Each structure stands twice: as C-alpha cells, then as structure tokens.
A and B are shown apart, each in its own frame.
Chain A
Amino acid sequence: MAGIKLDNHPKIEDGFSTPENYFNEVENRVMQRIQEPATRVIPIYRRTIVWAAAAVIVIALGIFSVWNLKQTPETDNVENYLASVEFTQEELIALLDDNDIEQLTADLKLDPQEIENVLVETPYLEQYILN
C-alpha cells in the first residue's frame, strides 16, 4: 500500500453500506415523526420556578448572615468564661491601663502590714518596678 498518490489513484470508495430497503423505510419513519407534536424544550434559565427557588435561597442566606452578625456574646457568658480560665498576675497587669490602676488605688484601702507581706513574698519584685 506504500506510495499511494490520491490524486492519481482510482477513487477509493468509503465502503459504507446500508440495510436493504433502508431509504424507503427512513422516508416513512420521518413522515411519521413530523406528524408527532414537537416536545417543547424550555431552557432551565427560563423556568420561573428555578428563579423563585434561587431567590428564596439568596434571601435565606441574607437573613442568616444578618442574624449571625447581630449575635454578641451575653455578659453572663463572658463573665463565666473569665471565671473558668486561670490568669497569671502578669496577664492581669498587662490588661490594666493607668486609669484602671488609679481607680484600683482609690478603691483599695491597704494595711501597711499587708503591703510589707506582699513585698517580702513577691519574687523578682524589681522586674515589676523596672517595667
């Protein structure tokens, strides 16, 4: 089969065949089919129910998002949380600013003996003083 030149070679047919009497039969089948009513195909984007369902989903998501944002932790929950967690002295001191400390000083009435006890018992006191 080597060396074929299609333009010079006798026409090579496709080799396809059909069943006997096929073309008469297909004519009858087509004529029968065109009598049948056409099935109307409605593209999905035109179906009202699809748009309605999409709108419901969008609205539901929107309501959920707004409801979620409005949720703030209740005060009781915050206090319960704080009570359940152990904070170190350093962590508590880090959370206080100058105003908080002045307020504490005003509210706190310290006994001189108590002050002396704290000074003796607190290790690395100079760190607090220097910081």
Chain B
Amino acid sequence: MHEAEEKEFIRQLLDPASQQAAFRRLVSEYSRPLYRHIRHLVIDHDDTDDILQNTFVKVFRHLPTFKGESRLYTWMYRIATNEAISFLKQKSKRYKVNSEELQTRLVENLKADAYFEGDELQARLQKAVATLPEKQQLVFRMKYYQELKYEEISEILGTSVGALKASYHHAVKKIEEYFNED
C-alpha cells in the first residue's frame, strides 16, 4: 500500500461511518501474514488463533492512538510480536523453563500436531531453529520463512539492519552445523 493510499485507509478506519468496512478489509488483508508471523513464534495453531484475534482487537482499540510515525503493517506486526512474546513468557513461567527450552518443547510436538503437514526435512529445520537464542530465532524466522526485507524487520523490531544481518548470518551458520551433526 502506498503512503497516500495508507493515509486514506487510516482515515476510513477512524471514521465511524466507514470504520466497520475498513476494519474488515484490514483483517482480510493482514490475517494471513500476521498469522504466519505469530505461528512462527508460538508454533501451535490454537495458541496462534488466540493471539491473532487478540492482536486485531488491540489494533482496533488503539487505532485512535496510531500517530502514523510508522507504516500501519509495521505497527500491527509490532503488536503481534509483543502479544506472542508475552504469551511465551507466561508459558515459560508456567512450565518453569527458559525460552529456548520452551521452544524446543513446542517443536518436539510438531510431528503430532494436526496442523503440521511438513516432511522430515521441514520438521528438522524447525527443530534446528528452536535451538537458537530467542532473538536469533525471531530474526531467522522473519527473514527466511516470512521473507521480510531487513528494512521491514528493522522497523518492526527496532534493531539496526547491520545487527539483523549479523544475527541472521550467525543463525544460518548454527543451523548448518546442526544439520552437519547428523
């Protein structure tokens, strides 16, 4: 969406007369990419479903406070990321494990997950990614799986492009070592 187009869209989102239709369009356009983003963080479909809905509700409630300092989708991605990370922190606390151990546990159950249709290689890559430190995992998933540009990831995470490139490079090296251990 171009900047001018986005400005008009935001106006429609804030106008009570056009809000419902505009918001439905927003949900329709962004539910797939946001679902994917959240699912890469929390792995499980049902948890992703909850967080996705909560994200959109939060977006709706906070629309009047959106100042347009970033793009709309960047702002929504940030909300989705924070919701997912909060959820994972609560889950870590509940199971009394750290974030890396939790990720490993979540991925261990993937093969039995009704909403995972990946083959052996895909499952193995998920396990390899789950062994990475939290931030590296996030960067890898956004770059490799979601194919976001470094500039987009930088806007969402508030990390410099240089740091992201380094993080991704290290993540790839570790994953390749993981496969070479076989």
In the complex, the answer to whether A3 meets B49 with C-beta atoms within 8 Å is: no
CA separation between A22 and B45, bound complex, in Å?
11
Whether a CB of chain B sits under 8 angstroms from the CB of A6 is: yes
Interface with B: A13-21, A49-57, A94-102, A110-118, which one?
A13-21
Contact pick for A27, options B27, B117, B125, CB 8 Å: B27
In the complex, the answer to whether B176 meets A26 with C-beta atoms within 8 Å is: no
Interface SS of chain A: helix, strand, loop or mixed?
A: loop
Q: A7: shortest Cβ distance to chain B, in Å?
A: 7
Whether a CB of chain A sits under 8 angstroms from the CB of B172 is: yes
Q: Which residue of B lies closest to A32 (CB)?
A: B53
Contact pick for B123, options A15, A27, A33, A34, CB 8 Å: A15
Q: B95: shortest Cβ distance to chain A, in Å?
A: 22
Whether a CB of chain B sits under 8 angstroms from the CB of A1 is: yes
CA separation between A78 and B124, bound complex, in Å?
82
**Across the interface, which residues of B come within 8 angstroms of A14, CB to CB?**
36, 39-40, 118, 122, 126, 145
Q: Which residue of A lies closest to B147 (CB)?
A: A11
Whether a CB of chain B sits under 8 angstroms from the CB of A30 is: yes
Residues of B in contact, count (CB < 8 Å): 40
CA separation between A23 and B39, bound complex, in Å?
14
In the complex, the answer to whether A29 meets B45 with C-beta atoms within 8 Å is: no
CA separation between A23 and B56, bound complex, in Å?
13
**Across the interface, which residues of B come within 8 angstroms of A27, CB to CB?**
24, 27-28, 31
Whether a CB of chain A sits under 8 angstroms from the CB of B180 is: yes
Residues of A in contact, count (CB < 8 Å): 26
Whether a CB of chain A sits under 8 angstroms from the CB of B116 is: yes
Whether a CB of chain B sits under 8 angstroms from the CB of A83 is: no
Return the CB mask of B4-31 against A: 1 if under 8 Å, else 0: 0000000000000000100110011001
CA separation between A29 and B126, bound complex, in Å?
30
The CB with the most chain A CB atoms within 10 A, among B40, B57, B61, is that of B57
Contact pick for B179, options A3, A18, A22, A29, CB 8 Å: A3
Contact pick for B115, options A1, A18, A23, A26, CB 8 Å: A18
Contact pick for B61, options A3, A16, A22, A38, CB 8 Å: A38
**Across the interface, which residues of B come within 8 angstroms of A16, CB to CB?**
36, 39, 45, 115-118
**Across the interface, which residues of A come within 8 angstroms of B175, CB to CB?**
6
Give B contacts to A, CB under 8 Å. Answer: 20, 23-24, 27-28, 31-32, 35-36, 39-40, 45, 49, 52-53, 56-57, 60-61, 110, 115-126, 144-145, 172, 175-176, 179-180, 182
Can you show 20 pairs from A to B with CB atoms below 8 A apart?
A1-B120, A1-B124, A3-B180, A4-B176, A6-B172, A13-B118, A13-B145, A15-B116, A15-B119, A16-B115, A19-B115, A23-B31, A23-B32, A23-B35, A26-B53, A29-B53, A30-B27, A30-B31, A31-B24, A38-B61
